[in-house]
Structure 1
């Protein structure tokens, strides 16, 4: 077996940084930070365990750029000097094992939870109370938009000064930046709404500012959702391709497409012979570095994704039980298979709160049973 994902290196030509392999620890929600957003010892140790386990890049959990936009309990933040020190330790640990360290920058937008934040949920336009948003969503003001752009840039600067290798801008999953892109949710009549350019202006401004104000060796990635999922609607796959190509012209380093299932067919072309990944790859500018997440658990799946056009593979649920995913594969050893026991997750460094959260994800955790290997 070739093992492209775990043995073949990769170069970010624009930033002159190298990965020792093409395997990425995906940004995973695990509820291990403190209520004020400070990152915990458990979280730092978990990321270090994955660096030691062979991953070529680590992406942190979605990290708040403002306490106005946290979406869950235990979400980390990168706002203060004290929080910066935690990320400096993450960067140092990653470098010790030859891994790149990326912080994913996030604002919850309409998915903000007030109980964990300093404000109510906001979106580009008002959203009425319904079963998913029992308190409704208020329209964000122009002044707040400007402040949030500054917040993203501030957090990126803190990441750079902490020694992190780059940032990933979270513009997926119906969070704030995705809310602006979405023509169903963005009904504004000012320069932040209407046309494609206006709806994505906030993303373009954030990327432009970071690229201008931080040295070029700092990696910028952007995470996008190409299709609707769950109860979220309004995502236009053609516009997401247009957005990716536009961002590439702004000199970003990679696009991270979250596909849910990397091997599914496109929703808008059910009779299409190509997978969604293959279709996306055919529409993207050829020079775009493409990272893909979604149902990639073993080396067969990872290498298949690379063969279909991905440059980098993001490993999520499989890494929760196998933080040494890369090393195990390269050593020819079996991986632990889901569902994982609580005992295994505890031994991997997850807290009681983290395990409780993961237990709510279908098929991920089972208690008091022996895990199987493959």
Structure 2
């Protein structure tokens, strides 16, 4: 089996950013930032190991754009200029190890949208984007999924009684603010649809993505629990949503969701997805890309059962503790 499709270079059509292959480390929590929110030495070692492993880009764990947007313990932050040195070390570490450095901007959400201040929140994303530029990152990704803030505003389940245009205002404001402050390659993570019937479907998501593209987003990270499962709302539609969105938009899309084996990554590329996001499998296989290039595709481990392997892979201790407390999270696919 040839895996050449995984190792073709890609130049993003708008920004001209060059990626050496089609393999990206998807963003995952590390729970390991320093107490002040600075990216820690443990996180730097974790990112460096996977960049050295041959991936085209490393997307950091979600980086909180404001103090009220922290979504998990040990989350890194980008809401203060005092954090610029740590951000710069992260960008430099990843780039020197051979990968593009991508900072994910994240806000975990609010208890009540009626009390939220959209202008202040959009400005917080812009502040994070500016610091990413000053720190030397190659790209910025806005987290617009997983029921976090941006999705809270867009979803009719959490923002009921609003039209599509009204619900789309905040995601578009965030994208425009970040694009203006950043001035470089802008990516966005989105859930392709919501399982709950009062949530948004793929048609609305596609329409939002088109508008976001006009606002400056050039690559979409489509985060599904299982890339291969097709629609979670319409069992009669088996095609992967990431594949459908790339065909519709004509812009690069990254397929994410339970992709672990080289054969699965190849299938996503063969479907037409420009990039493949690898997540949990990289915890135990930091040299995933290099092993495929070296002809060891069949030997790649796709389980997280070996604590020794994880400990030898520069996985931060809080991640090991998390997996010990929640054995179900050891599964590559939920």
Question: d(CA) in 1 for partners of 2:313 and 2:12?
Answer: 31
What is the aligned residue count? 328
Offset, 1:39 = 1.4
Report Cα offsets for 1:227-281 as digits up to 9, x if no partner. 225x796132211111111111223220110121111131333223534444444
2:191 corresponds to which residue?
225
Give the TM-score normalised by the residue count of structure 2. 0.92
Q: Secondary structure of the equivalent of 2:228?
A: coil
The answer to whether residue 241 in structure 2 is matched with residue 266 in structure 1 is no
Matches within 5 A, 1:183-332: 183-187=156-160, 194-215=162-183, 218-229=184-195, 234-272=199-237, 274-282=239-247, 284-286=248-250, 288-332=251-295
Cα contact 2:229–2:238 (8 A) shared by 1 = no
Question: d(CA) in 1 for partners of 2:246 and 2:284?
Answer: 30
Which entry has the higher C-alpha Rg, 1 or 2? 1
Cα contact 2:222–2:254 (8 A) shared by 1 = yes
More moved, 20-29 vs 35-44? 35-44
Q: Secondary structure of the equivalent of 1:221?
A: strand
Gaps of 5+ in 2: none
Question: d(CA) in 2 for partners of 1:30 and 1:361?
Answer: 16
Q: Secondary structure of the equivalent of 1:255?
A: strand
Offset, 1:85 = 1.4
Q: 1:166 aligns with which of 134, 139, 144?
A: 139
Normalized per residue, the structure richer in helix is: 2
Q: Over aligned residues, Cα RMSD in angstroms?
A: 2.0
2:60 corresponds to which residue?
60
Gaps of 5+ in 1: 110-120, 125-138, 189-193, 366-374
Give the TM-score normalised by the residue count of structure 1. 0.82
Question: d(CA) in 1 for partners of 2:166 and 2:268?
Answer: 33
Change (3 A) 1:195 1:6: same
Report Cα offsets for 1:181-209 as digits up to 9, x if no partner. 01121147xxxxx2222212111112112
Cα contact 2:194–2:233 (8 A) shared by 1 = no
The structure 1 segments of at least 4 consecutive aligned residues displaced by more than 6 Å after TM superposition are none
